[in-house]
Structure 1
Amino acid sequence: MDAPIIPPKPRPGDRVAVVSPAAGLPGVLPLPYELGLRRLVEEFDLKPVEYPTTRTMGASPQARAADLHAAFADPEIKAVIASIGGDDQITVVPHLDAELIRANPKPFFGFSDNTNLLDFLWGLGIVGYHGASVMTQFGRPGAMHPMTAASARAALFTTGPYELAEPGRITEEIRDWADPATFEQEPATEPVPGWTWHHADRVVEGPTWGGCLEVLAGMLMADRIKEPEAYAGHVLLLETSEELPSADTVWRTLRAMGERGLLRQFPALLMGRAMAWNFEKRNDRAARETYRAEQRAAVLRALAAYAPDTLAVFDVDLGHTEPQQVVPYGGRVRVDGPARRITVHY
């Protein structure tokens, strides 16, 4: 694979596109969205620009693709930021103009269902950024988490190495985004243990690929994944969503990746701290710990069967985590087992 294209970064005062290529939830839940827009302006000195489908639920895949084309083609737009995720971005990808986007590379920020678009950019050789959506990170109640804000700022405006940190405390329970009272104070936090390392006797450095496991499963079924050798030497990013897939589901998905010959291509894995609470499954602390332990066991089972030498780090704060840290997608990361350090390159 050729050297990746790292798009030029925006500067304070620049215009950035805010798009909804997955779901137009800003039109349904405006409070976190409007708050996120204000923070982009007031705290990051950026000028957000909306598109026709940004606040439109049920917009057609063609219309959402058209918004992406407009954002990437506009020379005044210096970055593209997803409002939030969704569940059908896989239908948008076939309508994307690869040549237009390749000719106008820009930093794209998003995660969850935006795994589809991050993978599309990776296939074009363009580095994207897994994380920092408007409603979830910029629109956090009370204030942006300092760890998230520092990571997002570094990814937006700087280049070079950035060391990820362990937060010590995280937010587990989410409050109602439709209730204005939710945004009057920061969410409660709880202490958590640090990262868990597996085969940490080595250093691995390489470009990243992966994303939300449930989305990757859909991409596998739709035959959107390249031949296994295309991923050789990459660091695999995996995380699960607020849908709380069971440990059996995680195992079966990874087993399928193993049978396809994918898992053994990755010398290292960064596994996001599993979200373990939603409004339908209001797990207490013990249940949340059990859920994460069972997921970790499922991943280790898959690695033992298909990639026994892979270095793995669990409970990294990427993807559906609070706080969240931005990880480059297709950019380089250094996983230093002996030093217990993870350094990304923005």
Structure 2
Amino acid sequence: MEHDLVRPRKARPGDHIAVLSPSFAAAGAFPEIHEQAMRRLAEVTGLVPVEYPTTREVGASPAARAADVNAAFADPRVRGILAVVGGEDQITVIPHLDANLARADPKPFLGTSDNTNLHHWLWGLGIASFYGGSSQVHLGPGPAVDDIHARSLRAALLTGERLEITDPGESEDVGIDWADPRALESFGEREPTQPWDWYGPRRVVTGATWGGCLEVLQWILTAGRFRFPAEVLRGGVLIVETSEELLPAREVGWIVRALGERGVLGAVDAVLVARPPVSDFHRRPAAAERARLRQQQRDTVVDVVARYNPGAVVCVGVPFGHTRPQWILPHGGPVTVDGVQRRIFADYR
């Protein structure tokens, strides 16, 4: 069984890119970060950011936020859509979306975290997207846009090239509070990364990606929004990451186990697990404890995957989730997981 996906055509410099808040309107709550993000978005991509009525409207209704998504798909001048940030209630927006508009003019959609909902709505319509990107997190704060983020942003929106996914050598779990003026010019506390961990057979897997934020995947499955047999993911690459809610490793394992029972783990040929955040503004364990928490989550996920699919190639620690710097990855597009050379490549066509 196959699920063929349309890959939306790329934008050209000067085209419009819609900047939307389908979840939390952080652009309205912290406008200085947002405005710096819009300047940088234009500089990095050559595209013209366009805002919609709820982009800065904190507390906008699900129907109003959906109306902006629909309007962006309906506007032929818009050649890409970027989410400001995630949140926790986008699942209530999905029923208000117009599938016909998205099918009539597919456009690259970029977002992470709660935007897993939109990625799966598009995937169900047969439209590929790009998991990652958050103007309020990856463009606005700090002294500059991280190189790996800028490269994958341009590849997703403009160039469609094939890139090797590499380790940037440093990572932060959380930046400086957006209410603090220092957030405009300083990164959060960064620390050196560790080599990625590889498990499973030494073979090369190339397949279409599917997944996102584990907590949101659980909501999607509970709401019955994934109506396909797991067989449709046969030979694919599962991408999973966890949020700033800092779930204990055993709860992460429960969600991954549910994916195993659903048949997802048995269908895919490879699994990419993102480097997880293990601290936030209120909880900052010592370095040794942070390392232990990451290892605990890694061991739990690897153990569950091995129970359901010992033949899967698994790589843990890839920076595509809630930590920064962040790679944007295809969602529904091909990724090569090379378990022989221990390398990963993403195709942004």
TM-score by length of 1: 0.97
The root-mean-square deviation of aligned C-alpha atoms, in Å, is 1.3
Equivalent positions of 1:113-262 (< 5 A) are 113-225=114-226, 226-262=228-264
Partner of 2:76: 75
Identify which range, 335-344 or 40-49, moves more after superposition.
40-49
- Residue 45 of structure 2: SS of its match in structure 1? coil
- Asked if structure 1 preserves the Cα contact closer than 8 Å seen for 2:173 and 2:322, the reply is no
Deviations 1:199-235 (A, max 9, x none): 1401111100000001011111111123212222220
**What letter corresponds to residue 217 of structure 2 in structure 1?**
L
- Asked if structure 2 preserves the Cα contact closer than 8 Å seen for 1:25 and 1:84, the reply is yes
Separation of aligned partners in 1, 2:34 and 2:328: 19
Deviations 1:19-45 (A, max 9, x none): 011111211122221111110123322
Structure 1 segments unaligned to the other structure (5+ residues): none
- Asked if structure 1 preserves the Cα contact closer than 8 Å seen for 2:271 and 2:314, the reply is yes
- Asked if structure 2 preserves the Cα contact closer than 8 Å seen for 1:233 and 1:265, the reply is yes
Separation of aligned partners in 1, 2:326 and 2:181: 23
Deviation of 1:68 after TM superposition, in Å, equals 0.6
Deviation of 1:65 after TM superposition, in Å, equals 1.1
**What letter corresponds to residue 309 of structure 2 in structure 1?**
A
- Asked if structure 2 preserves the Cα contact closer than 8 Å seen for 1:172 and 1:190, the reply is no
- Asked if structure 2 preserves the Cα contact closer than 8 Å seen for 1:18 and 1:49, the reply is yes
- Asked if structure 2 preserves the Cα contact closer than 8 Å seen for 1:200 and 1:336, the reply is no
Separation of aligned partners in 2, 1:116 and 1:67: 16
Deviations 1:29-82 (A, max 9, x none): 222211111101233222111111111122111111110110011001110000
Separation of aligned partners in 2, 1:172 and 1:4: 33
Partner of 1:303: 305
Q: Across the two proteins, how many residue pairs are aligned to each other? A: 346
Separation of aligned partners in 2, 1:302 and 1:223: 23
For the pair 1:99 / 2:127, whether they are aligned, the reply is no
- Residue 62 of structure 1: SS of its match in structure 2? helix
Find 1:335's aligned residue among 334, 337, 343.
Answer: 337
**What letter corresponds to residue 20 of structure 2 in structure 1?**
V
Separation of aligned partners in 2, 1:261 and 1:41: 42
Partner of 1:62: 63
Deviation of 1:182 after TM superposition, in Å, equals 2.3
